[in-house]
């Protein structure tokens, strides 16, 4: 039976951005009688096929499932790719072929390979909300000790294969931390069960077990992210685990003086359809570990092949906003990101996925930060969920990516009445950290003051004081502490701010960074505008750093500490300076 074809909206948006003739591989998963396309790469016209370098970076369950062509790619080249790639497609007998014009989805054609021939089929678009509603991810972590020869790539591959075989023999159990449940080859908590991933999520979200009536409120906001289930791997004392007190997995092969022991921190994602039965999840988790070990093997072999000393590898999950899923990459503790070898690897990844090299995507700072790692951290993207402005014939121009909302009295530091510009600067710095431009901590008030004294901008008694700073000092700190340039926009009065809609819209389109605004009055952060070029009407999306209460989103949005403000918000008799950070060109 021919499966239904579905394509993620993330994929369709990426396809529209490809402006040169090329071809690549499709990656997706099967669920409920449908094949869902979740990603693609760009293949090189010469040399080794790119998909062999990146296929293990995808979450488990996302596998190669076909070919994509952009523009007028020659049939001869496409035929070679189909033959080569189709041979490696192993989870479906009917690979997919997508053909797309450059820069547009008009006339996008989907075909399925049936009995060696191409047959055109329809496709459905899957929205972000549908993905977040119907799918989730597992994050599996465990520690291994890998014994191998540090200079022999063949030995590394052989030893890693042996480790994978040992792990796949049924000796593992998996513990779901948040649900306090474990799964073995016999099913959930030692018994075969028809329970699904959705049931597991329900027990995590509702640990008391009380039945909650589903809300029928049409105003309930749609989900904005995937749910993530944390999993630990455990060794089993017997084939049928009867106790949860098993130690965290640690494996060591026989000692040999000529070999080295490399600690491996397996950290791997798997994408799950929520109706998947837990009986099938065990095998998916085993495949997750094996995929992670293949990725580690690939990275270690490549490191040694380039005459680099072996180092402890670390898997980080990279959040590329355009993808709609995480991508796992290996980094090494002993090497700088500025090492030419790693710079070249990052550049290749940009090319593999058709991403521009004008911004970072695969630096360590681009790693995804999981919720359980955000301890006492400021709220993120507090504007999400705000009601529309009500302006007609307008368009919203919003900060791109993530930021953290910094305000008075955070980090157990009382800066009420004087620290608003410091907090706005911290919000700006957080944006550059979230987007991967920097990997340093957010500067404190003391660090900001010390830097301004060091560069001669302030006297020594400025350190430890409660003196204000303004837009120019924010610009100075961004350059000195982050190496980020900023543009200063001078506005003579609050009334004139309403005439700057086009400039602000262009800033959020081209740069996408938050704007610190100060001058003769208190500082604020502008994170967007709703602007109508036809009428000149404008509203400003404001983050107010003067908030002093706890980090409660309902209060912050309900009381207007993060919200849309009209031109009357600004003081008509005060001047303003806007510090508008510019993105550095790095990758």
How many CB atoms are closer than 10 A to CB 570? 23
Query: Across all residues in the chain, what is the average pLDDT?
Result: 89
Q: Token digits for 260?
A: 């080295």
The residue extents of the domains of the chain are: 4-126, 132-204+225-339, 395-581
pLDDT tens per residue, range 45-72: 654 567 888 999 999 999 999 999 999 8
pLDDT tens per residue, range 528-542: 999 999 999 999 999
Bridge partners of residue 126, in order along the sequence: 8
DSSP 9-54: HHHHHHHHT--S-EEEEEEEEEETTEEEEEEE----SSSS-THHHH
Helix axes 471-482, 420-434, angle to 10 degrees: 40
CATH homologous superfamily for 4-126?
Cytidine Deaminase, domain 2 (3.40.140.10)
DSSP 182-241: EEETTEETTB----BHHHHHHHHH-TT----PPP--TTSPPP-S-EEEEEEEEE-SSSS-
Check: CB of residue 120 under 8 Å from CB of residue 91: no
Catalytic (active site) residue 420: yes
Taking the CA atoms of residue 18, residue 23, residue 27 and residue 31 in that order, the dihedral angle to the nearest 10 degrees is: 90
Catalytic (active site) residue 546: yes
Place of tokens 């006297």: 459
CA distance 63 to 59: 9
pLDDT of residue 191: 56
CA distance 64 to 155: 28
| Of 407, 537, 544, 562, catalytic | 544
pLDDT tens per residue, range 311-326: 899 999 999 999 999 9
Check: CB of residue 485 under 8 Å from CB of residue 479: yes
Question: Residue range 565-581: average pLDDT?
Answer: 96
Q: How confident is the model at residue 558 (pLDDT cuts 50, 70, 90)?
A: very high
- Longest CA span, the chain: 80
CA atoms within 13 A on the CB side of 187: 10
Identical fold, 4-126 and 395-581: no
Asked if pLDDT for residue 75 goes beyond 80, the answer is no
pLDDT of residue 161: 95
Q: Token digits for 475?
A: 């610009």
CA distance 423 to 418: 10
Closest to 362 in 3D by CA, of 315, 398, 394: 315
Question: Residue range 404-422: average pLDDT?
Answer: 97
Q: Which pTM was predicted?
A: 0.88
The more confident residue out of 109 and 118 is 109
Q: Which CATH class is domain 395-581?
A: alpha beta
| Of 420, 477, 562, 579, catalytic | 420
Catalytic (active site) residue 477: no
Question: Residue range 513-524: average pLDDT?
Answer: 93
Check: CB of residue 563 under 8 Å from CB of residue 542: yes
DSSP 350-400: HHHTT--TTS-SSSGGGBPPPGGG-SSPPPB-TTTTPPP---SS-EEEE--
pLDDT of residue 549: 96
Asked if pLDDT for residue 32 goes beyond 80, the answer is yes
Check: CB of residue 494 under 8 Å from CB of residue 576: yes
Number of residues that make up the chain = 587
Low-confidence winner among 164-178, 402-416, 421-435 (lowest mean pLDDT): 164-178
Low-confidence winner among 32-46, 84-98, 234-248, 324-338 (lowest mean pLDDT): 234-248
Q: How confident is the model at residue 1 (pLDDT cuts 50, 70, 90)?
A: low
Residues whose CB falls within 8 Å of the CB of residue 75, separated by 6 or more in sequence, listed in order = none
Low-confidence winner among 43-52, 412-421, 572-581 (lowest mean pLDDT): 43-52
Q: How confident is the model at residue 11 (pLDDT cuts 50, 70, 90)?
A: very high
């Amino acid at each position: 039976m021919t499966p239904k074809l579905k394509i993620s909206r993330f994929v369709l948006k990426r396809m529209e951005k490809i402006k040169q003739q090329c071809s690549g591989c499709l990656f997706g998963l099967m669920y409920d009688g449908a094949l869902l396309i979740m990603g693609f790469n760009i293949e090189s016209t010469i040399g080794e096929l790119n998909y062999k370098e990146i296929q293990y970076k995808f979450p488990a369950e996302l596998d190669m499932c076909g070919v994509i062509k952009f523009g007028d790619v020659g049939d001869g080249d496409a035929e070679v790719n189909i033959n080569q790639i189709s041979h490696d497609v192993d989870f479906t007998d009917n690979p997919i072929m997508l053909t797309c014009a450059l820069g547009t989805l008009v006339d996008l054609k989907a075909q399925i390979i049936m009995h060696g021939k191409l047959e055109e089929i329809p496709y459905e678009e899957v929205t972000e909300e549908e993905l977040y509603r119907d799918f989730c991810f597992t994050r599996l972590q465990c520690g291994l000790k890998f014994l191998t020869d540090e200079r022999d790539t063949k030995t590394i591959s052989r030893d890693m294969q042996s480790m994978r075989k040992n792990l796949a023999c049924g000796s593992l159990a998996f513990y779901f931390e948040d649900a306090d449940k474990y799964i073995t080859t016999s099913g959930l908590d030692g018994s075969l069960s028809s329970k699904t991933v959705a049931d597991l999520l329900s027990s995590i979200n509702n640990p008391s077990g009380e039945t909650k009536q589903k809300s029928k409120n049409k105003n309930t906001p749609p989900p904005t992210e995937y749910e993530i289930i944390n999993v630990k791997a455990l060794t089993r004392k017997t084939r049928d685990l009867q106790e949860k007190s098993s130690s965290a997995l640690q494996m060591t092969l026989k000692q040999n003086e000529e070999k080295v022991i490399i600690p491996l921190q397996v950290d791997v994602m798997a994408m799950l359809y929520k109706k998947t039965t837990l009986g099938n999840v065990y095998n998916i988790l085993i495949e997750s570990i094996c995929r992670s070990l293949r990725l580690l093997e690939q990275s270690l072999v490549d490191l040694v092949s380039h005459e680099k000393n072996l180092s402890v590898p670390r898997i980080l999950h990279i959040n590329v906003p355009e993808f709609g899923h995480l991508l796992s990459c290996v980094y090494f503790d002993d090497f700088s990101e500025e090492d030419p070898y790693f710079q070249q690897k990052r550049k290749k990844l940009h090319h593999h996925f058709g991403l521009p090299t004008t911004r970072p995507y695969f630096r360590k700072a681009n790693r995804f930060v999981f919720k359980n790692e955000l301890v006492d951290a400021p709220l993120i993207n507090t504007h999400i969920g705000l009601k529309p402005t009500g302006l007609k014939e307008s368009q919203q121009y919003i900060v791109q990516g993530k930021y953290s909302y910094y305000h008075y009295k955070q980090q157990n530091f009382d800066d009420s009445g004087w620290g608003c510009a410091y907090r706005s600067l911290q919000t700006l710095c957080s944006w550059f950290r979230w987007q991967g431009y920097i990997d340093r901590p957010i500067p404190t008030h003391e660090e900001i003051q010390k830097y301004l004294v060091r560069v001669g901008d302030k006297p020594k008694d400025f350190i430890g004081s409660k003196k204000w700073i303004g837009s120019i000092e924010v610009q100075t700190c961004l350059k000195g502490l982050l190496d980020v340039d900023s543009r200063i926009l001078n506005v003579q009065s609050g009334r004139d701010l309403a005439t700057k809609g086009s400039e602000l819209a262009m800033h959020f389109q081209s740069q996408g960074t938050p704007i610190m605004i100060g001058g003769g009055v208190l500082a604020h952060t502008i994170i967007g505008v709703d602007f109508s070029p036809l009428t000149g009407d404008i509203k400003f999306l404001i983050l107010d750093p003067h908030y002093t209460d706890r980090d409660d989103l309902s209060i912050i949005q309900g009381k207007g500490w993060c919200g849309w403000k009209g031109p009357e918000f600004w003081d008509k008799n005060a001047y303003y300076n806007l510090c508008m950070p510019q993105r550095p060109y790095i990758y």
